[in-house]
Amino acid sequence: MPLNGIGMELSYFVRKRVPMSLPYQWILFDADETLFYFDALKGLKLMFGEFGVDFTQADFDEYQLVNKPLWVDYQDGKITAAELQTTRFEPWAAKLAVAPQALNSAFLSAMAEICAPLPGARELLSALQGKAKLGIITNGFTELQTVRLQRTGLQHHFDILVISEKVGIAKPDVGIFEHALELMGRPAREQVLMVGDNLHSDIQGGLNAGIHTCWYNVHGHAASAGITPNYQVNSHQELQQILGL
């Protein structure tokens, strides 16, 4: 199928192998920091360099004071994707006398230029080929997603690509998962696995939708109370082992 439009101890529970009697028909992935590097500082340095600006770590820290709360508001449904993309660049747009939309597009282009799969991601997707249908559900923006898939040569692995900006709903809202399930032909929810690095948007969102979840926790973050993924891994290789590949 082509891309659609373009109080239990986790150490035991989440690391056991999936029983062979419980195969997953579908495996859904988050994109940024689950399949792909997302080095925002590197992308911003590259982008601002085109405008003659030496973008520093201090500049990045200041940018994040604006950017991070906007992402929380976006995931909570308080602002739109367009508002996030323009608002985060308004201070720099005023300094450089350019439209914030122009800075946002330049940033996404820079991120596409430096894109690369995370270690083991390509091998995991290849190992899954023909064994399960694959999809992406991302809160990332449309302008980056398809270009990145094409440049990395990974687009052929995926049966669906669900982008919150196009759907109008962001993870963890159950609506974006319901939209994906509709595209998938409404499989049994216990036969769907969501893999992602964000405990709130990916894992809580997947649990709210009634599907199984795997937390890609490469940095060893502590779990949040009340959010218990079915599995936890710190590498794509570990996920391959869990899936018996």
Residue 22 pLDDT > 80:
no
Distance CA 100, CA 67 (A): 13
Q: So what's the pLDDT on residue 10?
A: 33
Q: Are residues 30 and 100 in the same domain?
A: no
Q: How far apart are CA 110 and CA 92, in angstroms?
A: 16
Residue with the bigger pLDDT between 22 and 78: it is: 78
Q: Which domain holds residue 102?
A: 40-113
197 in a domain, yes or no?
yes
We report the CATH number of the domain holding residue 192 as: 3.40.50.1000
In the chain, DSSP assigns E strands to 26-29, 133-138, 160-163, 192-196, 212-216, 231-233
Band (pLDDT 50/70/90 cuts) for residue 17 is: very low
What are the catalytic residues? 30
Is residue 141 domain-shared with residue 130, that is, in the same domain? yes
What pLDDT score does 183 carry?
96
CA atoms of 173 and 12, how far apart (whole Å): 29
Q: Write down the pLDDT at residue 225.
A: 81
What are 32-77's pLDDT values in tens digits? 999 999 999 999 999 999 999 999 999 999 999 999 999 999 999 9
- Does the pLDDT value for residue 5 go beyond 60? no
pLDDT in tens, 174-183: 999 999 999 9
Kindly report whether the peptide bond that precedes residue 117 is cis, defined as omega within 30 degrees of 0. no
Domain boundary among 79, 113, 147: 113
Number of domains in the chain: 2
> Which residue, of 88, 113, 138, is where some domain finishes?
113
Q: Are residues 94 and 192 in the same domain?
A: no
State whether 150 and 177 are in the same domain.
yes
> What would the pLDDT profile of 100-137 be if each residue is shown by its tens digit?
999 999 999 999 999 999 999 999 999 999 899 999 99
Q: How far is CA 56 from CA 43, 68, 105, 201, in A?
A: 12, 18, 20, 29
| Residue 208 in this model has a pLDDT that exceeds 60 | yes
Residue in 72, 113, 65, 110 with CA at minimum distance from that of residue 92: 65
Domain co-membership, 131 together with 219? yes
Residue type, 213: T
- CATH number of the domain at 58, please: 1.10.150.240
**Range in 4-8, 110-114, 134-138, 156-160 with the lowest mean pLDDT:** 4-8
Considering only residues 226 and 93, tell me which one the structure prediction assigns the higher pLDDT.
Answer: 93
Q: What pLDDT is recorded for position 53?
A: 96
Considering 98, 113, 128, which residue would you say is the last residue of a domain? 113
133 and 23 assigned to the same domain:
yes
Do 102 and 131 fall within a single domain? no
Strand 212-216 versus strand 231-233 pairing type: parallel
Which positions ≥6 away from 233 have C-beta within 8 Å?
A: 15, 214, 215, 216, 217, 239, 242
pLDDT computed for residue 245 by the predictor: 84
Domain co-membership, 57 together with 177: no
Domain-embedded: residue 72: yes
171 within domain boundaries: yes
Q: How far apart are CA 132 and CA 124, in angstroms?
A: 12
- Average per-residue pLDDT in the chain? 89
Q: Mark whether 183 and 227 lie in a shared domain.
A: yes
CA gap 1, 91 in Å, rounded: 43
Helix axes 57-75, 40-49, angle to 10 degrees: 120
Residues in the chain: 245
182 in any annotated domain: yes
pLDDT beyond 60 at 16: no
Alpha carbons 197 and 182: distance in angstroms, whole number: 24
- Give CA–CA dist 67/94, Å, rounded: 16
Cα–Cα separations (whole angstroms), residue 216 to 112, 127, 179, 187, 197: 22, 17, 23, 23, 5
* Statement to judge: residues 107 and 137 lie in one domain: no
3 is a domain residue: no
